[in-house]
């Protein structure tokens, strides 16, 4: 492994590669949004089932594997980890081109989730060791901009590739019998292989040096990563509890939490079946309700979070104390999760809303909406990141104000946007809406990562990913799809309904404003009191 203090040129090259990783990650993840109408028609499924594919199925494996891969990012060579996982999820994306039913497409999506689970923990940790604190708002702005380009690019590439293929082979005889949506997956998979190759040749920076807290080499990162996977995976985690000689109180707490989660899961299934009845899905020859799949996954994910925190308490009590006893960090995670419910619910179905509501073709929707959302997704973070650096370099509360304005105002604008009378008016309104909506991520992330020590950033990103993925990506698209099905396909109304999570989100940010300065100031004293050598 090459250990070095990075030059300015190397730092910006590394940032470009990590941004490219985020771009292809969102490209491969979000392409399902523009292909949804064709997939629904071909596989004979509804909006709720598309929500399962877009959000829930992906979310479970993305969240679960982000934990061991996040731990691996804290101890192994992050450039190698990223190169391997980018190649894996690109192969999985290409595998969707061979999907012939809901089950095989679901397998492709869950493998994409496994691969992409390393992108944020390893990528964020890597860039934070290339750039000093005063530049990290800019770093997060670039990362957010890359995500926006990936989101927009997925719509452009997916819509144009699928429509071109279907037009070219309208008379039949397509190679391998591929439909347009299958060909689009194959196209989307291609750029990831180049990013993986370039990442494999990037030098690894010294961990923690930029923060003045050099971190010792981890002699057994893979063992630690596998231990995390075993400790959080339901069923296997009981072996971990037995191996660590957990107390009777630990066992009672774990089983009690499981019982509460199962009860909540059964109540949610019953409510969903009554609110929006759906025909069963055929999974590996077994007929099962999509609502059972949905809430079983959410319950599984909630138990993973409980297992993670219980395991962390025994394995790394310092990290457990700094995470669970820091209100500002927990508030940041909660705010990001609620905003993810809105973002994923909106972006997962807006292309379908445009095609259904305004009669646009997939290619026109992909090109127009993709370019607009990508451009605004770049501009918003590039305004918010440097702005939060300038006004909040020495006061984190000012960064919170930037996030509060974006996250509080955008749901009000959504009421105006999704009632536009025509596509042109929609795009005009969406311009202001998206510009404000995309400004929340750089300041909130910058606040989040300042709440822990450098050695804990990969773990913190993983925890954030698990919570925001399970409760954001896992619920947002499914909820919009379920509401749309219940209302006879009213996607506009379903998209607007997801913005009702905004009031508690604003309240959380107001409390964060009150707490953030004191919690950040007490980080090092709390770490020393817990036994950390800093």
395-432 tens-digit pLDDT: 777 888 888 888 999 999 999 999 999 999 999 999 99
| 8 Å CB contact between 239 and 274 | no
* Domain limits, the chain: 7-201+221-529
Q: How far apart are CA 358 and CA 371, in angstroms?
A: 18
Using CB atoms within 10 Å of the CB of residue 411, give its burial: 0 to 12 exposed, 13 to 18 middle, 19+ buried: buried
Under 8 Å CB-to-CB from 197, ≥6 apart: which residues? 83
| 8 Å CB contact between 353 and 483 | no
- The DSSP output letter for 522 is T
| Tokens coding 354 | 């445009």
Q: How far apart are CA 385 and CA 391, in angstroms?
A: 10
Give the number of other CB atoms < 10 A from CB of residue 509.
25
205's enclosing H/E stretch is strand 204-205
Each residue's pLDDT expressed in tens, for the chain with a length of 534 residues: 444 466 778 888 989 999 999 999 989 988 988 888 888 888 888 888 888 888 888 888 888 888 888 888 888 888 999 999 999 999 999 998 888 888 888 899 989 999 998 888 888 888 888 887 777 777 877 887 788 888 888 989 998 998 898 888 876 777 777 888 899 999 999 999 999 999 999 888 877 666 666 666 777 888 888 888 888 888 888 888 888 788 888 899 999 999 999 999 999 999 999 988 888 877 767 788 888 888 998 998 899 888 888 888 877 788 888 888 888 889 999 999 999 999 888 888 898 899 888 988 888 888 888 888 888 877 877 777 777 777 766 677 788 888 888 899 999 999 999 999 999 999 999 999 988 887 888 788 888 877 777 777 767 877 887 898 888 888 988 888 889 888 887 888 999 999 889 999 999 999 998 888 887 777 777 777 766 666
Q: Is the dihedral of CA 302, 305, 311, 317 positive or negative?
A: negative
521's enclosing H/E stretch is helix 502-521
Using CB atoms within 10 Å of the CB of residue 433, give its burial: 0 to 12 exposed, 13 to 18 middle, 19+ buried: buried
- Classify domain 7-201+221-529 at the CATH class level: mainly alpha
């Amino acid at each position: 492994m090459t250990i070095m203090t990075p030059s300015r040129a190397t730092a910006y090259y590394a940032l470009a590669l990590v941004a490219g990783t985020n771009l292809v990650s969102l490209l491969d993840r979000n392409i399902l949004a523009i292909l949804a109408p064709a997939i629904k028609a071909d596989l004979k499924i509804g909006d709720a089932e598309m929500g399962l594919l877009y959000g829930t199925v992906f979310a479970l494996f993305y969240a679960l594997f982000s934990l061991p891969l996040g731990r691996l990012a804290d101890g192994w060579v992050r450039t190698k980890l990223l190169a391997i996982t980018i190649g894996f999820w690109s192969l999985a994306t290409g595998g969707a081109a061979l999907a012939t039913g809901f089950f095989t497409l679901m397998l492709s999506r869950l493998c994409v989730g496994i691969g992409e689970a390393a992108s944020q923990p390893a990528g964020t940790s890597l860039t934070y060791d290339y750039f000093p604190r005063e530049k990290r708002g800019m770093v997060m702005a670039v990362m957010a901009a890359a995500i926006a380009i990936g989101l927009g690019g997925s719509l452009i590439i997916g819509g144009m590739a699928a429509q071109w293929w279907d037009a070219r082979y309208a008379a039949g005889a397509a190679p391998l019998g591929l439909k347009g949506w299958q060909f689009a997956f194959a196209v989307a998979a291609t750029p990831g292989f180049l990013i993986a190759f370039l990442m494999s040749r990037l030098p690894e920076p010294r961990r923690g040096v930029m923060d003045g807290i050099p971190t010792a080499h981890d002699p057994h990162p893979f063992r630690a990563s596998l231990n995390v996977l075993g400790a959080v995976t339901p069923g296997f985690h009981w072996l971990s509890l037995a191996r660590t000689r957990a107390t009777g109180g630990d066992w009672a707490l774990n089983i009690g939490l499981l019982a509460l989660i199962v009860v909540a899961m059964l109540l949610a299934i019953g409510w969903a079946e009554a609110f929006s009845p759906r025909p069963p899905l055929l999974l590996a020859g077994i007929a099962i309700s999509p609502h059972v799949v949905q809430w079983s996954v959410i319950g599984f994910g909630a138990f993973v979070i409980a297992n993670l925190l219980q395991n962390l308490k025994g394995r790394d009590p310092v990290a457990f104390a700094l995470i669970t006893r820091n209100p500002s960090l927990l508030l940041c995670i909660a705010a990001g999760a609620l905003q993810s419910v809105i973002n994923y619910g909106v972006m997962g179905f807006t292309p379908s809303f445009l095609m259904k509501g305004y009669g646009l073709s997939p290619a026109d929707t992909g090109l127009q909406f993709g370019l607009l959302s990508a451009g605004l997704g770049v501009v918003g973070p590039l305004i918010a990141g440097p702005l939060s650096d300038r006004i909040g370099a020495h006061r984190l509360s000012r960064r919170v104000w930037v996030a509060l304005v974006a996250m509080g105002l955008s749901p009000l604008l959504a009421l105006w946007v999704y009632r536009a009378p025509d596509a042109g008016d929609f795009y005009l309104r969406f311009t202001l809406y998206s510009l404000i909506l995309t400004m929340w991520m750089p300041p909130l992330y910058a606040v989040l990562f300042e709440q822990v020590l450098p050695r804990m950033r990969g773990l913190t990103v993983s925890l954030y990913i698990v919570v925001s993925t399970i409760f954001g990506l896992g619920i947002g698209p499914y909820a919009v799809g379920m509401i749309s099905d219940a209302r006879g396909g009213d996607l506009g109304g379903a998209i607007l309904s997801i913005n009702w999570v905004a009031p508690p989100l604003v309240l959380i940010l107001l409390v964060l404003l009150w707490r953030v300065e004191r919690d950040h100031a007490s980080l090092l004293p709390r770490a020393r009191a817990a036994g950390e050598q800093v």
